[in-house]
Chain A
């Protein structure tokens, strides 16, 4: 008899979503002068709240507030004092972790298991980690002077975690920030604004302006910002690079990826299969460093594919708030369209499609875990970032061929190597042109470990000691 897991929903009672939100400028929630837009729960299409689409004037006020706070309070403050605020924020994040996890899941569509066990612990860890650096900058080797006002634009795939990656090092180094969350996932950033109030962070040190592309453009192009940190698509990253050319603004870009996950025939097969699944189906594949190209050695390809399909059939797709859900909702209708379109192109170009047998809910945005076999380097699904639960499977014969295929992409964010042979790990990792190379694991993050890309995956590093460099003046 089958073991049917009864529904185990996490309670929504811990979150209190307001009907509408203003902008967080100079320590207060204020009405913006722009229009308003709705944010929805992608798992149900239910409207959660209304937020402001910040206008150029709103952005101007936010930048002015950040400048004031930088000049008068935060810039001159000793590092040890700044650290106290960051530690306080980290502790409040931990205290409110359950609430923030539920809010993240409702607004983003990711499974509560991931927001609870991955996102939130990492958010707190990032604040703790950079709090520790605040009074030790002289030992990091990048100088001790902050840049000034940082304009930060973050994506919707890890809303609060990307906020932490941006805000924690900026504040530790003495900068003030204006941050724009993604238009589909503004709620945890606004909850973070409340945390800043709760922590008595001086007004203007953190400002949150909600909005879409136009708001982001106004922020990035504002003459009053000294530094731009962007995580998102390569297309927008290129626009930003163009718009700041010839200005003194410093820029770091963390863009797309098309990572190769390389499985050699001497790999620990069961764990490699877990790693492949975690590499591409973690967070519905909405991960810039997702292992979206599986390169498997020909001699074990049949065995690995059979095991992979067996494992994919076990993925539990559905209500993101259910504690047993493995794969949640696609973040938006727009993203779902893109995933569908590229998958259809994959079929049209002759790759063979296999989809995990699973029932999808009627409402909301859903895409079943899918893999393509018979994929070559020439297929668009092997070249373009799909940013969804779609895996392209390619084979190789020799380590040299694996490296060549892995590097044959305009991107270079991450890669994975699976083998029980230590010397092979070192030799292959050395040849891969990717910012992060995972060996016998995938999608593992730690605040002490720098993260960033080669080539069109961007430049600059976030996390670790390296992550300080982007926020300090030489």
Chain B
């Protein structure tokens, strides 16, 4: 296909039949077993120094997100300020990984984030439904990159995937990837619409073979969004892909993660599935908006021994 297609697996996508054979040949996922594994890891008790470390890491992994029709330049600028200094009263608090906005807001965010080292992510490809002609999706992507986004969160064509037209999905990802230029590509599987863990595993491999830098659970606009077992299945795919190709693909859990406690459970999943190489903002992200304030509240609780009221943390 192209140079960006993962080496060693390039010929997998030479035809619809070969891609289908490969994806159908992946080992199945037993739903009960995957749920149990995720639940068991959810019982890990992360306390004191481990909790401090995990909360700071989780803050550094947040893609601070606003994806509303009502977004304004003012709100985006406010979020940029928050991304830089999440806790205005505590300079030791690290910045978040990225800001994530619609393409129309990219120019505003780009100006505010210039020189901060914080990444600027934009959803593209007719997010969240992906129901637009390919040319529109590519134009959407190109506009976001042109205006300064260095990370693109695209949605896959779920209709094509669910009807078994895997090559169509694949070629679309490759096309978007080529429109991204130097920007990193996160491929949103929208696992809530894929329905089975077998599909999640197949879609994960499909996206990785097509050149995704990250695979991402959800748009946040569909329920269920990220869940621990879905993330576990994706982390296993990433681990196995790394063993096959040597390439490290990141995972982004997005939607529905609202508390520090939940975020820490995801970090445990990462730790005990792919290991410490993925415990880095370049390899794991949280797509979230309300999560950050809970992380900040728990962080200050650990430092001071008491909870501050919600009014001590800025609302977006």
- The residue that A274 contacts in the complex, of B33, B43, B51, B54, with Cβ under 8 A, is B33
Contact A3 B267 (CB under 8 A): yes
- The residue that B37 contacts in the complex, of A5, A7, A271, with Cβ under 8 A, is A271
CB distance from B176 to the nearest CB of A (A): 29
Contact A3 B50 (CB under 8 A): yes
CB distance from A75 to the nearest CB of B (A): 43
Contact A324 B45 (CB under 8 A): yes
Number of interface residues of B (CB under 8 A): 27
**Which chain B residues (11-42) contact chain A, with CB distance < 8 Å?**
27-30, 32-34, 36-37
B168 contacts the other chain (Cβ, under 8 Å)?
Answer: no
Contact A3 B279 (CB under 8 A): yes
Contact A441 B33 (CB under 8 A): yes
Number of interface residues of A (CB under 8 A): 24
Contact B53 A440 (CB under 8 A): no
CB-defined contacts of A5 to chain B, threshold 8 Å: 44-46, 50
Contact B50 A271 (CB under 8 A): no
CB-defined contacts of B50 to chain A, threshold 8 Å: 3-6
CB-defined contacts of B44 to chain A, threshold 8 Å: 5, 323-324
Contact A267 B27 (CB under 8 A): yes
Max chain B C-beta neighbours (<10 A), residue from A268, A274, A275: A268
CB-defined contacts of B306 to chain A, threshold 8 Å: none
- The residue that B29 contacts in the complex, of A6, A270, A324, with Cβ under 8 A, is A270
Q: A67-103 interface mask toward B, CB cutoff 8 Å, 1 = contact, 0 = none?
A: 0000000000000000000000000000000000000
A113 contacts the other chain (Cβ, under 8 Å)?
Answer: yes
CB-defined contacts of B47 to chain A, threshold 8 Å: 6-8
A117 contacts the other chain (Cβ, under 8 Å)?
Answer: yes
Chain A contact residues, majority secondary structure:
loop
Contact B32 A441 (CB under 8 A): yes
Given A275-B33, A441-B33, A3 and B45 touching (CB < 8 A)? no
- The residue that B45 contacts in the complex, of A8, A270, A441, with Cβ under 8 A, is A8
Bound: A267/B26 CA distance, A: 10
Contact A6 B27 (CB under 8 A): no
CB-defined contacts of B27 to chain A, threshold 8 Å: 266-270
Bound: A420/B276 CA distance, A: 31
A2 contacts the other chain (Cβ, under 8 Å)?
Answer: yes
Q: A431-474 interface mask toward B, CB cutoff 8 Å, 1 = contact, 0 = none?
A: 00000000011000000000000000000000000000000000
CB distance from B250 to the nearest CB of A (A): 17
**Which chain A residues (1-60) contact chain B, with CB distance < 8 Å?**
1-8
Q: A254-276 interface mask toward B, CB cutoff 8 Å, 1 = contact, 0 = none?
A: 00000000000011111100110
A360 contacts the other chain (Cβ, under 8 Å)?
Answer: no
Contact B51 A6 (CB under 8 A): yes
Closest 7 A/B residue pairs (Cβ): A271-B33, A8-B45, A323-B45, A268-B30, A271-B30, A6-B50, A420-B28
Name A residues whose Cβ lies closer than 8 Å to a Cβ of B.
Answer: 1-8, 113, 117, 266-271, 274-275, 314, 323-324, 420, 440-441
Q: List 14 additional contacts besides A268-B29, A269-B27; criterion CB under 8 Å.
A: A2-B276, A3-B271, A4-B53, A5-B46, A6-B46, A6-B49, A8-B47, A113-B43, A266-B27, A266-B28, A267-B28, A271-B34, A275-B33, A440-B32
Q: Can you list 7 contacts pairing A with B, beta carbon distance less than 8 Å?
A: A3-B276, A4-B49, A268-B30, A270-B33, A271-B33, A323-B43, A324-B44
